Structure formats: C-alpha cells, structure tokens
Structure 1
Amino acid sequence: MSIRKRKTLLTAVAVTAGLTLAAVTPALAGTSTSTASHPARAAAVPGAQGDPRNVTQRVADFYGAYIDAVWDGEDAAAGADLKALRAFYLSNSARKKVAAYEKKNHADGILFAQNVPVKWKVAYTGSGAGHATSRVTLTWGDGSHAEVSRIDVQSDLKTRKITDLKPVR
C-alpha cells in the first residue's frame, strides 16, 4: 500500500472517529433534547470555570458542593460530605459559630434554613483588613413568587477559609 493511500485511510478513520465522538458525547453528557426519560433537569449551562486563589470563587465552590450534598441528603455519603466540606472550607471559629446557630435555631447554619434552595449565586462585595466579603443569594423555589435570602460570607485572604457567615436582614 502506498504512503498516500495510508494517509488517506488514516485521515478517513480519524474523521469517522471524530464524527462518532461528536454524535455520542451529548448523549453521554445527558444533554439530549428529550428530558422525558430523565426526571432530573438537564439545563443548558454555558460553562464553568474557577480559580482556587480567588476567595469569592471558593465561597461559590463551597456553596455549590454544600447545597448538592444537602439536596442529596438521602445518599449515604451526604452526611460525611457535609462534614468534610465544613472542615475544609470553614475556619475553626466559623465552624463553632455554625454549630452554635444550629443548636439554638434547629436549622442549618450554612443556609440559615431548614430546607434546601434550588438556586444560588455568589458575588464579591468588598475587602479590607485581610478579609474579603462575598454575598450569597439563595433562591427558594421557582417562578415569580420564589423567595430569596442573602448571606454575607467573610473569608480570610491568606488562608482562603470562610471565617464568618451572617444572614442579611
């Protein structure tokens, strides 16, 4: 077989493999247009990115993972996940404040609620004295009458640990 025929054959195989992968990947990722057979929502997300050095991003990462674990509370690993997330993202003093809130109010001291929000977002609101503050907005339900709550989260710029959480009144 000539070199030209081999190159043509290899090119054809590569193109076929690429087209097959392009056709199969959306189905494997769960982004098909039909959601009737999948009870979970398949929302189009434009993409996600992050930077572990950014304290606001770390607050967003924490709340995203924390809410996922609370949402999946029936999963046997969820309790261990919640404990590990708190240990990793919160300072010792913040964990103590959260525990005191939970004991007094019989509610989750991270979400300041007894249930789970369906949406969340985090925005940087300022920094000073070695700390940054992020505002977490939690949405409780869908539609035009969904309730919203806000939490100011303070992070240490050196350790990137969450040092304080306060509900915004």
Structure 2
Amino acid sequence: MSVRHRKTLVTAAALTAGLSLAAVTPALAGASAGHTPRAAAVSSAQGDPRNVTQHVADFYGAYTDAVWAADDSTAAASAKALRGFYLSAAARKKVAAYENKEHADGILFAQNVPVKWTVAYTGSGMGHATSRVTLTWGDGPDAQVSRIDVQSDLKTLKITDLKPAG
C-alpha cells in the first residue's frame, strides 16, 4: 500500500471517529450530569445586557447554577460574587437580614434549590422595573412553585428589592 493511500485511510478513520464522537457526546453529556441525566432542552439562548428583565433572568440562572452545584468548591464564592454584582448594597443587606432571621437563602426564599425558574416583566414606574420570578421545586404535575417579585433600578439594572409574591 502506498504512503498516499495509508494517509487517506488514516484520515478517513480519524474523521469517522471524530464524527462518531460528536454524535454521541450530547447524550453522554446528559448522562454524566451531577443531578439529572438529560440533555439540554434549550437548543439556543439569547440575551440583551440592556434589558432589565433579562438582567434578572441572567442573575437567577447563574445564581441557581451556583447553589445547585454544592459539590463544586467554587460554588459558594460564585454565588457571593453574583450577589455583589447584581444586587444593590441595600438589597444585599436586606437579603442578609432575612437569612439571619429565617436560616434560609434570601435570594430563593428557601432552604433548597429549585429545578427550574422563569422570569417575566410585570411593570415599571418611578425609575424601577418589577419582574416576577417563578421557581419550580421538582418535576411532574405535583411540582410546587413559588414566586418572587424583584425590583430593579432602570438606570443601573441592579436588583434593589426582593420579596415573596403574595
């Protein structure tokens, strides 16, 4: 066999192996995830750093990821850094006071971590916007939900207040 034919054969084998790995990798990624073995249901995402509701959604997405990853040694520092970036100083104080009193997470208003979250714009006025965060605690038809009203400053996009929705 000539050198050219061997190179072609090796290249074809490598390409086949690479394509096979690419086809199998998404399924393997879901199977090795820490908490739930499933592939990502969202095939694309987008955002706008100028949108106040998107800012709240970005925070809750990243924060939930950080507290969900309890076995990651950097998770607690990440959650603290997210609070520092997304929350105003006054909101951080209010969250800390809630946590000291209730012994629960002052962002989620719970002692555990939701499996899903959604954020919807609910209104604005006087330089602030309000978003409703819906947290889902479990899967299936009997999953519990809780709601949080999050107020943000329209100029800075910082979260200025959080409270359980009634």
**TM-score (ref. length: structure 1):** 0.81
- Tell me which residue corresponds to 1:73: 70
The Cα RMSD (Å) is: 2.4
Matched residue type, 1:153: V
- Tell me which residue corresponds to 2:9: none
Residues 6-155 of structure 1 mapped to structure 2, 5 A cutoff: 25-28=22-25, 31-32=26-27, 40-155=37-152
Which of 138, 144, 155 is matched with 1:158 structurally? Answer: 155
**Number of corresponding residues:** 152
**8 A contact 2:31–2:37 mirrored in 1:** no
Work out the percentage of aligned pairs sharing the same amino acid: 71
Cα distance in 1, alignment partners of residues 126 and 17 from structure 2: 55
Cα distance in 2, alignment partners of residues 73 and 57 from structure 1: 25
**Unmatched 5+ stretches in structure 2:** 1-14
Distance apart, 1:112 and its partner CA: 0.1
Cα distance in 1, alignment partners of residues 114 and 157 from structure 2: 24
SS at match of 2:76: helix
Cα distance in 2, alignment partners of residues 26 and 131 from structure 1: 47
Distance apart, 1:23 and its partner CA: 6.1
- Tell me which residue corresponds to 1:167: 164
Cα distance in 2, alignment partners of residues 162 and 103 from structure 1: 20
Cα distance in 2, alignment partners of residues 26 and 155 from structure 1: 43
Q: Residues 41-78 of structure 1, C-alpha deviation per residue, up to 9 Å, x if partnerless?
A: 21321310000000100100000000011100121101
**TM-score (ref. length: structure 2):** 0.82
Matched residue type, 1:119: K
- Tell me which residue corresponds to 1:14: none
Cα distance in 2, alignment partners of residues 110 and 91 from structure 1: 13
Cα distance in 2, alignment partners of residues 164 and 35 from structure 1: 36
Q: Residues 65-118 of structure 1, C-alpha deviation per residue, up to 9 Å, x if partnerless?
A: 000111001211011001100000000000000000000000000000000000
**Unmatched 5+ stretches in structure 1:** 1-16
- Tell me which residue corresponds to 2:10: none
